[in-house]
Structure 1
Amino acid sequence: MRIEVEHHSRYRFTEPQARVVQLLRLFPGDTVNQTVVDWRIDVDCDARLREARDGYGNIIRMLYAEGPLETIGITVSGEVLLPDTMQAIDASAEPLPPACYLRTTPLSAADAAMTRFARSAAGEGDVRSSVERLTAALHDRFEIDRRRGDGVLPAAEAFAGDRASPRDLAQMLVGCIRAIGIPARYVSGYSLGGCERRERPAPHGWAEAYIDGYGWLALDPSLGGPSGLDHVRVAVALDSAGAAPISGTRIGHGEEELDVDVAVGRLGSNG
């Protein structure tokens, strides 16, 4: 299957900015589960881009733009070829060992209520069955708000509610899986969501859990189980902030507004 992605981000500033520096995690890489056919970035102002990899192994670009800037628009678009079956991601080729993903963060930390829920939902048995039961239980617990695009809540705060975005669910799942002693990480990317074309206000999010002897298993709590065959994996991190598509700083006064539009479409089958 070929998936096409268009991701538009526009920053608007109430006062001109002297300089903007942004870290872009907007570039999928080739894995056993995806092949990048074409990918490009367009910036609507004079800017320098420098490619690198971060500590998690994600492809990043640093963007440097000199002002005065009242607005800056960034568009990434491309095509990714996805397989007919999903495979585990081998941890041996990655810069960090799986045990590093047992580390918690303020955004992903499980509180007492989350920990009780995780232990009860996971139950007894092998690790894969436990994390899949936990994923299904988290999916069933919340009404999913697919249109909310105003950031990701800390896991414990989101768990206290009854509605959650897919990215909220992903961050909660990461915290719950770590609470039962299994390495887990947050994944940012794109998903068709079961539709031929799906407009989203923000990129998608899901989780990966490490299973000894198998590898990294992708789990999407918005689906209630393993991620589908339409997921384009872009970046991984300990939490949503570490895998955020764009983060950065600016030199200048005033406020900023961010508008995001994401479109994901199916181009055809790879068979």
Structure 2
Amino acid sequence: MKKFLTAFVFLLAFGGFNQSVHAAELSSLDITTAITIAEDDTQTVVQTVEAASTGDGVVRFPLPTKEANNLSVEIDGTAVEYDLEATQVQRGPFTVDIVEVLFTPPSASWQAELSYDTTSLLGDGELKTIAVAALDYSTQNVTEQVEITAPLTLGVPVAIGTQADDSSVGGGMQTYVFRFDEARTTSVLLDFATTQSYRLNWSEELKNTSFWWQTKQVVLAPDTNQQVVHIEDISPKPTTIHLDTDGNIIAMYNLGPKRSVKVEASAVATVRSVRYAIDDDRGVDEVPGTLEAYVSQTGLWASGQEQTQDTAKATIETLYEAATEAASQTNSDSYLDVLNSFIADVRASGLPARLIAGTLTHNGAQALENPTQHYWAEVYLPGTGWMTADPAMNTMYEQFGVSDGFHVAEFIRGIDSEKPPKNHNTVQLLALNETPDLPDDFIPLVAQTKYLLLPGLSFTKTTITMLAGAVVDGVGYEDGGNAYRLGSLAPLQEMTRWRLALGSASWGPSTVGVGLLQNDAVDVVAEADSNLSFIPAIVLAVVVAASVYGFIVWRRKRKEPVRVHEADEDIQVDAEDLLKKP
């Protein structure tokens, strides 16, 4: 019995596919990965591998997925036994979950076919992005072909990063082929949903621990070039709500001494995938002067190194390549330092840059089960505008010139480098299965009151109230034939403007219209007739009358003779008595 147990332990320790004892090294690989997406979004994968290996023993072959169901392995046409191990690989600050197949090839040169089913290559919900991660095959002598076939009902995809070499359509299916003559270092990504929708829920408790009134704020997700946020509700109603200088939506609450309030808000963020049309010839000197604050080298971004190239694009590409190399050698804890250094260098080179804090739902290799907090940059290129720049994501796929639907911005830090970031823990993000029906119409509430002071003189108050929805840029209002600019307004924001009216315009009826200001004219979408209030005139008349009456009374008192006392006829005094000495 003792000998049997000893032999059993020996087999467990040294038998099977223990690579530490028997390991074969791959010397060359020719891989064809064919992925077929079914109508129910499940994926069938067939990988054909022609390989040469050195040494006898077990081969570890990684699969670009974190699950492989119904796996079968055939070597030279014969089914073989295998082991399957879940493992993780580190790509810069990201961790990628994969599985490895362990099997023993019969000879130094062999051909294998691995087939399996999975659901992890295509993101869940509305994240219809299929990702085939780049893997380490322990040899650089690799050629690879990736074929992705999907039903046309899934939509026409956009290749994020690497572009397809061939494509074809037939039988209700579409196929895209990617070829690589060497070991690839970036993922193959096809985005079948050019926009991704997410629901954001905020829950934050604001406290005033002092013995005096304080103003507290909640920061809601901003709009960017790639993202539109529709604010659905915020409770309780803020004291005020506005956009700060970076475009963040700020809800302000005035709290009394030792008071607190729990703020809850909800919104839908729609993020689109964008491939930027970058002008190769634009120079750094073409940056608009209005963005000067985003070039300022202060605070966290005070020590950048200037990079001089012929064009703005070449400057960014050079800096981006260096930042990507730094990101590939860091982890999630120190990546923010790499990003701040990149922003500082971009600013020192004369181009605007800013920091974005938000949530990442896909790491470029696979959808994340638990979306994680992430930071990235936006850089401004003349002729292109603000463009996403994420050196960490550039280690996963060719991200330069591309914005994906995985980055959900929650906070912008640009003009003030020391501005405290949004508390990420107060935000819950959920990917939506379908985009909700969001109102696109811009129809604000408008009211105008003329407060008459004197005939021919009044103060006119115009109030524009935004409804729930998205930020609207370029808002203006038209009054008395003149157009006035309001700028960008946040959802639920109330904007009040006062102006002095003279002559007949001070009391006569008029109509005020609100809309988008274009070429010094307002495209009116909402209007209202003005109201006339006589209250100021009445109050002024009462004050004037009271003042006049008081003045008259005062003047009369000044004109009366001053009398020490009144004569008393009942008292008679003899003159001799007055002259007598006591």
Q: TM-score range by the shorter chain?
A: 0.5 to 0.7
Label 1:41 to 1:132 Cα distance change in 2 as closer, same or farther (>3 A): farther
**Structure 2 unaligned residues grouped into runs of 5+:** 1-195, 278-287, 436-582
Matched with 2:255 is 65
Amino acid across the alignment from 1:79: V
Matched with 2:432 is 267
User: Relative contact order (C-alpha < 8 Å, sep 6+): which is higher?
Assistant: 1
Contact preservation (8 Å) 2:198, 2:270: yes
Matched with 2:418 is 241
The count of aligned residue pairs is: 218
CA distance in 2, matches of 1:24, 1:33: 23
CA distance in 1, matches of 2:349, 2:428: 36
Q: Deviations over 1:42-69 (max 9, x none)?
A: 46xxx84301222344432222222314
Contact preservation (8 Å) 2:343, 2:354: yes
Q: Which of these residues, 346, 349, 352, is aligned with residue 177 of structure 1?
A: 346
> How far did 1:219 drift?
0.9
Runs of 4+ in 1 over 6 A off after TM superposition: none
State, as a whole percentage, how many aligned pairs show the same letter: 22
Matched with 1:211 is 381
Taking structure 2 as the reference length, the TM-score comes to 0.32
CA distance in 1, matches of 2:369, 2:356: 21
Q: Which of these residues, 408, 411, 415, is aligned with residue 232 of structure 1?
A: 408
> How far did 1:243 drift?
7.0
Contact preservation (8 Å) 1:8, 1:75: yes
> How far did 1:176 drift?
1.4
Instruction: After TM superposition, list the pairs within 5 Å mapping 1:1-271 onto structure 2.
Output: 1-10=196-205, 18-29=212-223, 32-42=225-235, 48-69=238-259, 73-86=262-275, 97-110=290-303, 114-115=304-305, 119=307, 124=309, 126-142=311-327, 143-145=330-332, 163-165=334-336, 168-194=337-363, 195-200=367-372, 204-224=374-394, 225-226=399-400, 227-234=403-410, 235-242=412-419, 244-245=421-422, 260-268=425-433
Matched with 2:467 is none
CA distance in 1, matches of 2:377, 2:406: 15
Label 1:80 to 1:96 Cα distance change in 2 as closer, same or farther (>3 A): farther
CA distance in 2, matches of 1:19, 1:10: 16
CA distance in 1, matches of 2:211, 2:276: 45
Taking structure 1 as the reference length, the TM-score comes to 0.63
Superposition CA RMSD, Å = 3.6
CA distance in 2, matches of 1:136, 1:239: 26
Contact preservation (8 Å) 1:101, 1:185: yes
Give the number of the structure whose alpha-carbon radius of gyration is greater. 2
Amino acid across the alignment from 1:106: G
> How far did 1:97 drift?
1.2
Q: Deviations over 1:127-153 (max 9, x none)?
A: 22432442342243242326xxxxxxx
Contact preservation (8 Å) 2:323, 2:339: no
**Structure 1 unaligned residues grouped into runs of 5+:** 89-94, 147-162, 247-258
Contact preservation (8 Å) 1:188, 1:243: no
Amino acid across the alignment from 1:208: E
SS in 1 for 2:300: coil
